[in-house]
Structures are given as C-alpha cells and as structure tokens.
Structure 1
Amino acid sequence: MTVDVAPPRGGPDRKRDTLARLENDIDVWVATAAPDGAPYLLPLSFVWIGGGLLLATPESSATGRNLRRSGVAHLALGQTRDVVLIEGTVAAYSREQVPADFAAQFARRHWDARESTPPYGYFLVTPQRIRAWREENELAGREIMREGRWLV
C-alpha cells in the first residue's frame, strides 16, 4: 500500500500551522520525569497564553510534583503524522498565586481549576524548542524554535 504524501511545508507554513494548533487545540500530551528518572506521561488540557501553554493538574499528582520540582516539560500535540514537539521551561503557580487573568482564561476554555479538589496548581510552559513535521519529507527543517526564538 502506498501512502500519498503532501509536498513538504516551508518554515513559515510550519510556524503558522503550529501557532494555529496552539491557539485551537485543547489537549496536549505532557511528559515529565520523577526524581529517580522514571518517566510519566498523560494528557492535560491547556490554553495558549502570551507565548506559553497554561496547564492545570492536582498539585499532589505525579505530574504536578514533577513539573514543580524539575521546572521543565516535554509536550506533544497532534498525530504521529502531524506532530508538534515542545520542550519548555515551567513556571508553577498555586491556585492562590496564579495571575487572575491566566485562571480566567483557563476557566473560560475548560473549567475553573481554582475550585477543584484536591487543590490544583497551574503550570505555564514556555517553549524553548519546537519541532514540527508531518512526514519523512519534512524531517529536514523540523526545528522551528531554538532557545525560545523562532527560526522561521
């Protein structure tokens, strides 16, 4: 069986498509690691705010603890044949510390996590590296952000 493959996108198109995903998708895969290096992966809802992905999860959960402790996360959007991989730094906020406009934007899109039990924390992941590709023909040039700066 042969798979029809679209021609590769240029850098500006990949950036445009990536920003559209960040503005319109509602869930993202979040990968973290425990202090002993054990990996942890789960989907979380997010909202794109001011150049970062705002997540909410119970502060006492493995993901909440890992994000707060390490200050880094790896995120993935999309299918395996249309993927956006993000490596970012994390700013952690308790529900008492989260900026009101961040919590309000998250609540408008999902639910008011400030009212959740057990207590939820908010985590703003600021992308430092982004890679985006669809097929093998897009592997070259897949890195579209490095050190927090767009390359395209």
Structure 2
Amino acid sequence: MTGNEQAVVGGGGPRSRVARKENALRRLAEDGDVWAATADATGVPCLVPLAFWWDGEAIWLSTRPTNPTGANMAATGQVRLALGTTRDVVQIEGTVRAYTAEELPDGVGDAFAAKDGWDPRTSDGRYDFYRVTLEVLRAYGTVPELAGRTLMRDGKWLV
C-alpha cells in the first residue's frame, strides 16, 4: 500500500483536495495501466485494462480498432478511465480522438513504447492510438473524501 492509501485506509482523515490532485498527477505519471470503460451505440458496456502514457496534458491509449473498446471510442468519442485502488480512486471522463500509427504526432509512439516496454506499432495486426482529453477528474478514498471529489471540470483544474 502506498503512503496515500495508508492515510486513507488508516483513518488519518480526508486528504486535502491539493493532496488528491498531487496523487492523481503522480498516478498519471507512474501507473502502468488504466481501466477503460466504453459503451457502444446501444449502451452495451465494455471495461478493459489498457497500457497508457500521460503526456502532461492528455492520456494516450492503444488498442485494436476492431476491439469493442477501440470501436466504441472511435464511434462515440468518449471514455471513462479509472486509476488506483478502491481506497484511492482517480476517475476520469474524457473525449477521444483516434489516430492510426501513421498519423501520430512526432514522439508519441516512442514515448508510449518507452513507458510500458510495448510498442503497438510493431505488434501483429493493426493497433490504433487514442488521445484522451481530460474533461472531468474525480479523486477520493473513502466516504469522508466524497465531498469535493471533483478536481477538474470542463478540462480545467478546480484546485
């Protein structure tokens, strides 16, 4: 358990919103995978873990465009992401733009591969990339942190 998780679980009181923002940014920089939730046009949900890279402004994901997650993100332009544990949650709602490997901005593919050690561009079959622009970010641990859990709204930090 990390120090932040211990503080939440150990009853040290709710973390400040500033501390939760710092923890969310640390998770974006350091965590290896994120849970990605999408839905198709009929509302059928799909939840999968994906490797990701945070470029300081947006989250980059990669999956096959034919997988439900890739198809849903391309069709709806929306995704919900979750980092952390049930006692240290970072939830993100974002808008998505899809890129083929050939369309990637300079440096994105290399940075993505360097973070995780996996390069979708060299995998068998086609993998697309998905740039997630953060619209809403919530961070909380237990019930005392539910109040004030929204730290970003409309893509702007509230803290």
Q: TM-score, normalised by structure 2?
A: 0.91
Q: Which runs of 5+ in 2 are unaligned?
A: 1-8
Q: Which residue of 1 aligns with 2:6?
A: none
Q: In structure 2, what residue type is equivalent to 1:29?
A: W
Q: How does 1:1-152 map to 2 (within 5 A)?
A: 4-110=10-116, 111-152=118-159
Secondary structure of the residue aligned to 1:92 is strand
User: Which portions of structure 1, spanning 4 or more consecutive aligned residues, are displaced by more than 3 angstroms?
Assistant: none
Runs (5+) with no aligned partner, structure 1: none
Matched position secondary structure for 1:99: coil
1:35, 1:13 → 2: CA distance? 37
Provide the C-alpha distance between the structure 1 equivalents of 2:125 and 2:17, rounded to a whole number of angstroms. Answer: 43
Q: RMSD of aligned C-alpha atoms?
A: 1.0
Q: Percent identity?
A: 46
Give the distance between the partners of 1:75 and 1:86, measured in 2 at CA. Answer: 5
SS at match of 1:96: helix
- Structure with the bigger percentage of helix: 2
> What letter is aligned with 1:97?
E
Does the CA-based 8 Å contact 1:5-1:135 persist in structure 2?
A: no
Q: How many residues align?
A: 150
Return the alpha-carbon distance in structure 2 between the equivalents of residues 93 and 53 of structure 1: 13
